[in-house]
Amino acid sequence: MQRMAGESTAYYAPTALTGNRAAIEAMKTADLVIDLFGMYRGSEQEEILAAGTRIILVKEPPEVFMRLRPLESDRTRVLAAHARLGKAKTMHVQSAAGTDLKVALGEYPCLIQYGFADEPGRWDHCPSAFIAIWPTEGSAQGTVVLAPGDMILPFKTYVQTPIRLSIRDGYVREIAGGLDARYLRDYMESFRDPEGYAVSHLGWGLHERAQWTALGMYDKRQTNAMDARSFAGNFMFSTGPNAEGGGTRHTPCHLDIPMQDCSVTVDGEPMVLEGRLVVADQRSVG
């Protein structure tokens, strides 16, 4: 499938860097690479990071970058969340809209983003502050209901009509609802790739200066939607690839879906309650 306009936020596929050995070798000798176009998170990025090069992805406009510029306090909150999620064995997500999703954890590591590439071989996305993890293969079971106000990336739009995702054995098996559900269903079907329906990384936002309303203030080509991904207390549901976490799924069909008003528990301990951070060391105030 050819990439459609505006798809850069969530389309995972080879880029112009793929196979360019001269460029890859040059990056492997660098201390820091600032990525302004979004290299494929498959083999070439992994190879560059393995050489000890640090990579920072920056795709937001200056105003967003300045408003969400990374602070040490963001890093502290993300690492506090990682201390819990990184050793957890289960995650349970619920919402008044009808979400009830359970997954097992432990097969894959966490994805931690706080906007700094502060160690050799570290990749980060700047600006950002969130924690996520890829669930154990085949373990995701339940229902995810996307409610009005939730956001679907790469569409960069707010959900207007509820979408009900039925999940069994790690895959989305049914997409039900009105216009929004049909749009999502047809988009995913266009890839003709069953792996695009797999449940990918799951987590929550920790950035207290990010705003869920920000997406509506920008043209789609003006933002990479890091406000949406990072705002404190969101639940991030995603589908598609898991190669970045060490898996083998390289499907180009990838959705990031930041959701509001969800409750997230890990090993029975609440991390987010109805869209609000509830663990003290995840918050900078309160």
pLDDT > 60? residue 12: no
Q: Provide the pLDDT for residue 58.
A: 92
What pLDDT, in 10s, does the model give residues 216-256? Answer: 999 998 899 999 999 999 999 999 999 888 899 989 899 99
Greatest CA separation for the chain: 53
Q: Provide the pLDDT for residue 286.
A: 39
Amino acid code (one letter) for 111:
L
User: What's the whole-number mean pLDDT along residues 12-32?
Assistant: 85
Q: Provide the pLDDT for residue 14.
A: 66
Q: What is the DSSP letter of 134?
A: P
| Burial of residue 29, with CB atoms counted within 10 A of its CB: 0-12 exposed, 13-18 middle, 19 or more buried | exposed
Q: Provide the pLDDT for residue 179.
A: 97
Task: Look over the chain and give the mean of its residue pLDDT values, rounded to a whole number.
Answer: 92
Q: What is the DSSP letter of 82?
A: H
CA 206 → CA 16, 71, 83, 177, 229, distances in Å?
33, 12, 14, 30, 9
Instruction: Assess contact for 164 and 145: CB atoms under 8 A.
Output: yes
Antiparallel, parallel or unpaired: β 110-113 and 130-133: antiparallel
What pLDDT, in 10s, does the model give residues 71-124? Answer: 999 999 999 999 999 999 999 999 999 999 999 999 999 999 999 999 999 999
What pLDDT, in 10s, does the model give residues 177-200? Answer: 999 999 999 999 999 999 999 999
pTM for the model stands at: 0.91
What pLDDT, in 10s, does the model give residues 39-73? Answer: 877 678 889 999 999 999 999 999 998 999 999 99
Question: Which residue, among 20, 12, 81, has the nearest Cα to 47 in the 3D structure?
Answer: 20
Contacts of 18 (CB under 8 A, 6+ apart): 40, 43, 44
Separation of CA 200 from chain center? 9
User: 112 forms bridges with which residues in the sheet?
Assistant: 131
Q: How many distinct helices (H) and strands (E) make up the chain? A: 6, 18
Q: Provide the pLDDT for residue 18.
A: 79
